[in-house]
Structure 1
Amino acid sequence: MNIQNISFEKKKGKYVYLQIYDKIKEDILHGYLKKGDKLPSIRQCEQMWKVSRTSIEKAYIRLIDEGYVYALEHKGFYVDVEKESVAFRKQLMQETLSKKQQNILFDLQTGTIDVELFDKVLWKKYLKEVLQNKELISTYGDAQGEYTLRLALQKYAYSMRGVLCDIKQILIGSSFQSLLYIICGMLPKNSVIAMESNSFIQAKRVFQDFGFTIKYISKTEDGYNMDELYRYDITLLYVHSGAFTSTYKPISKDKEIELLHWAEKTNSYILEDDHNGELRYRSRIQPSMQGMDVGKHVFYIGSFSRILPPAFRISYLVLPLPYLKEYEKRKKSYAPTASKIEQMALAQYIIDGHLEKHVKRLSKQYGKRCREMEDVLKEIFPNTSVWLEEAALCFHLELPKGNSKYIQSRLQEKGVYLNTANHHELMLSFASISQKNMRTALLYLKEIIDEMSCG
């Protein structure tokens, strides 16, 4: 059917092309426009709606990109949604809308970053350059990771974290967890893992999936209890170097030396989880254990979860030399897990020096926000224990009476969203919230805590 007229009224407060896009999409999803219907031409729309040709073209291009419409040269634009898929698309829209309606007015969640600090225009430039290389994108990637990125990361990790390795020791994966599965697949089946009980849950999940015995080691003000480590026959010790102590401070050089001595003496291995280790704005950057160990006893994993946007999924692993041969035997049975396109874009981004510049910029900005939140916390909670977890861009607030989940639930009613560390601690991120909103959110928190104290 040729559709001669679609009612549309331009409104203020939203780009015109998005209004046109929304109108046509909604008409398709409500069944007013059906598969094969011919839409008005761009010239007809100009005359009907009194809007610019550019706005109509942008709306049609978006509808084509999302599969709602297709174009036939010299013939026009046609609806491209089967009747059976309309219900499915409506369901997807409703799920997306329900997420938007969470009413997050004050975001203190630790999974957030300020994406406005990331130069998206520059990143698009690198992606575009990769996509224009037909030969590059027409082949599968290397299971170990693209050579160019491994070369760039070898130099970057040495410059920023003191990591010393050969390119062949570096593996690229989509996440910390995907790389940990490779490590665990090479460990003995009767391996014993040592970690803190409140450690990274995704690491614990992998160890449990492999059926490994886990020994939970207590933490002191300077890190793991060494007497407990020597008590057990440990295969692998998990260490989060950015939040190593009981008060979430980074690992000290003395403790690194002590742990490396323990690994040497007991013939054990250390998994150094150093995500965002280069992002420091309060403490002095401490070189990695891997660089001090020179490839003998440390599996090193780095990632960019607070440096690049969270949707960007690339991490890297540096194997200790004793495990390199074992990996090379298995390499052909693995498939790449990280996007080849993103790997090649990141490689050039690093080579051109942009990642180091970006880290310096983030350190400055997050350092400022850290000080702002610290001042507000001291003012509103002067007698409460507060600790900074630098790598996670957040403070931990102690709750003397516990009940963190109840407080979290009450805050959500006011549009304040945050995470809990345990029953007695809240995590308050300053990554994507303004100073003004920090104060308002923390005053809501104080109000709820005071109510509980009176009760």
Structure 2
Amino acid sequence: MLTYHFNHELGIPMYEYLYQCIKNDIIQQKLQANEKLPSKRVFAKHLQVSLITIENAYNQLLIEGYIYSIEKKGYFVNSIEYPEIPTQTVPTILEKPQIQYFIDLRTNSISLSNFPFSVWSKLTRQVLNSQNSELLIRAHQQGCLELREAICEHLHAFSGMNVSPSQIVIGAGTEYLYNIVIQLLGRDQHYALENPGHRSIAKVYQLNNVHYQYISLDHDGLNIDELKKSQAQIVHISPAHHYPTGISMPIQRRLEILKWATQQHTYIIEDDYDSEFRLRGKPLSTLYQIDQNERVIYLNTFSKTLAPSFRMSYMVLPPHLVQLYHNKFAFSACSVSSFEQIILAEFMKQGYFEKHINRMRNSYKMIRDELLTQLQQSVIHQDINITEENAGLHFLLHYHSSLSDVAIIEKAHNIGLNIATLSQFYEQPFESQTLVVNYSGLSLNDIQLAVNLLIQLLSRQ
């Protein structure tokens, strides 16, 4: 007779414990195929449990196929062929330990003191207390209407763009929206990328198995002659502030690229990732704004304006692509939770977003100015040259060194400094003798240490 000792400290129902015991004996072949199990009444009396406990355990084993029953004969162990247990254990994949740096001048980040925690907490409570039914329903495929309307108002106020909420698609990060664009326009298209540029964009295209090529830059941005000679049908550019060179594309080059797209019936993906933080003069007009032929797909993100942890970006589709989007993605829901979208919508509608951008712009300008001042007053000031410091949250630091770019990065890591060289963003690396300095994560208190580490990095001793 099967005998099991019940452990009441496990915190699970008795029938579930019994079911687990019998199942384990079947899997370990302690109970053989077609072996008869005790009758329910006899088993209950033997184990000193209720009949319902035995019935529930047997019923669960029946449902899962471990046993079968024959009317008026009882319950029997099923014949089950188990796969052979592998002799080798599955290798454990160890994550690389995250390196801790004294100063990070590479990663897009934000100082803790700059995030509006109190306002965000207040709005979170307001949204929860409102008991808005939209918090609990399936999100619209393009995102919550409330947030799309707020984005429309922001784009009109900030850059003069006139768009409809029906044109906006909200997604969990810009990389996610890149994937959506590829699925929307087709994997059979030929894409073009700026060289240099973010390597993550090329990774998205590689994973989608699409053809792409790099187009080099000149002093005005994307080389139009090279673009015309290419096989590109879709080109990805950041005309307001190219990363990492910092180039702002002049109006003539913008019009030339728009003319190319119109004549070729192709599309331009405009990545306007940090236009809110132009530190001198007015924001530049977007390519979307001056496009008269619906050739531009506009992308922007809240990761720069709020924090990298906000995996929330949006794109503005040309009107004629909206129906195609609906046809292809009608089955899907928005990839960002309604809860986060509604809080952000309130943040924008109540004027906090505009105030936050203005405050951040002033803060970044103060940090940049202090960082540049200390560099110009440092012992290496004659050996460096700063360019492209007036737009966005990074600048280029040109230097003279006998070390290769690879050696400079290795030296930087050894002294606790995370930074990138310009050459790392090119398709074919070369000796750039240029650092890309991202100061978005610095506070005023960090600047002295950052300058000291840069001096140590670039010192000729």
Q: What TM-score comes out, normalization by structure 2 length?
A: 0.71
Aligned-partner Cα distance in 2 for 1:294–1:329: 25
Q: Tell me if structure 2 keeps the 8 A contact 1:244–1:250.
A: yes
Deviates most, 321-330 or 398-407: 398-407
Q: Does 1:129 align with 2:126?
A: yes
Shift of 1:185: 0.5
Corresponding letter in the other structure for 1:172: I
Shift of 1:203: 1.7
Corresponding letter in the other structure for 2:435: L
Query: Where does structure 2 lack aligned partners over 5 or more consecutive residues?
Result: 1-8, 12-93, 425-430
Q: Does 1:112 align with 2:109?
A: yes
Question: 2:451 aligns to what?
Answer: 442
Shift of 1:387: 2.5
Deviates most, 198-207 or 270-279: 198-207
Q: Does 1:426 align with 2:451?
A: no
Instruction: Using the aligned pairs only, state the percent identity.
Output: 26
Partner of residue 352 from structure 1, selected from 347, 350, 353: 350
Alignment partner of 1:218: what SS?
strand
Q: Tell me if structure 2 keeps the 8 A contact 1:241–1:274.
A: yes
Aligned-partner Cα distance in 1 for 2:443–2:307: 19
Partner of residue 319 from structure 1, selected from 317, 320, 326: 317
Shift of 1:206: 1.8
Structure 1 residues 313 and 188: alpha-carbon distance in aligned structure 2, compared to 1, 3 A threshold: closer
Q: Tell me if structure 2 keeps the 8 A contact 1:146–1:344.
A: yes
Deviates most, 180-189 or 205-214: 205-214
Shift of 1:191: 1.1
Question: 1:218 aligns to what?
Answer: 216
CA deviations 1:172-208 (Å, max 9, x no partner) are 0011111111110022333111222322222212222
Question: 1:172 aligns to what?
Answer: 170
Question: Which residues of 2 match residues 43-122 of structure 1 at below 5 A?
Answer: 99=98, 102-122=99-119
Q: Does 1:412 align with 2:409?
A: no
Q: Tell me if structure 2 keeps the 8 A contact 1:161–1:278.
A: no
Structure 1 residues 318 and 134: alpha-carbon distance in aligned structure 2, compared to 1, 3 A threshold: closer
Partner of residue 249 from structure 2, selected from 251, 265, 268: 251
Q: Tell me if structure 2 keeps the 8 A contact 1:106–1:416.
A: yes
Alignment partner of 1:398: what SS?
strand
Q: Size of the alignment, in residue pairs?
A: 360
Shift of 1:409: 3.0
Structure number with greater Rg is 2
Aligned-partner Cα distance in 1 for 2:351–2:183: 35
Question: Which residues of 2 match residues 391-410 of structure 1 at below 5 A?
Answer: 392-400=392-400, 401=402, 403-410=404-411
Alignment partner of 1:305: what SS?
coil
Structure 1 residues 192 and 103: alpha-carbon distance in aligned structure 2, compared to 1, 3 A threshold: closer
Corresponding letter in the other structure for 1:309: A
Structure 1 residues 292 and 440: alpha-carbon distance in aligned structure 2, compared to 1, 3 A threshold: same
Q: Tell me if structure 2 keeps the 8 A contact 1:177–1:203.
A: yes
Shift of 1:357: 1.2
Shift of 1:391: 5.8
Query: Where does structure 1 lack aligned partners over 5 or more consecutive residues?
Result: 1-33, 37-93
Aligned-partner Cα distance in 2 for 1:399–1:116: 32
Q: Tell me if structure 1 keeps the 8 A contact 2:421–2:436.
A: yes
Q: Tell me if structure 1 keeps the 8 A contact 2:239–2:248.
A: yes
Aligned-partner Cα distance in 1 for 2:403–2:261: 37
Shift of 1:302: 0.9
Structure 1 residues 200 and 35: alpha-carbon distance in aligned structure 2, compared to 1, 3 A threshold: farther
Deviates most, 301-310 or 407-416: 407-416
CA deviations 1:106-141 (Å, max 9, x no partner) are 232332222312211111111222223262322221
Aligned-partner Cα distance in 2 for 1:389–1:212: 35
Aligned-partner Cα distance in 2 for 1:187–1:402: 45
CA deviations 1:428-452 (Å, max 9, x no partner) are 222233456434333333333334x
Question: 1:191 aligns to what?
Answer: 189
Corresponding letter in the other structure for 1:409: E
Shift of 1:274: 0.3
Q: Tell me if structure 2 keeps the 8 A contact 1:270–1:299.
A: yes
Aligned-partner Cα distance in 2 for 1:329–1:257: 31
Alignment partner of 2:195: what SS?
coil
Alignment partner of 2:269: what SS?
strand
Aligned-partner Cα distance in 2 for 1:313–1:131: 21
Partner of residue 290 from structure 1, selected from 284, 288, 291: 288
Alignment partner of 2:327: what SS?
helix
Structure 1 residues 448 and 35: alpha-carbon distance in aligned structure 2, compared to 1, 3 A threshold: farther
CA deviations 1:26-81 (Å, max 9, x no partner) are xxxxxxxx999xxxxxxxxxxxxxxxxxxxxxxxxxxxxxxxxxxxxxxxxxxxxx
Q: What TM-score comes out, normalization by structure 1 length?
A: 0.72
CA deviations 1:305-353 (Å, max 9, x no partner) are 2210211121111011232221111122223211211100111111111
Structure 1 residues 389 and 316: alpha-carbon distance in aligned structure 2, compared to 1, 3 A threshold: farther
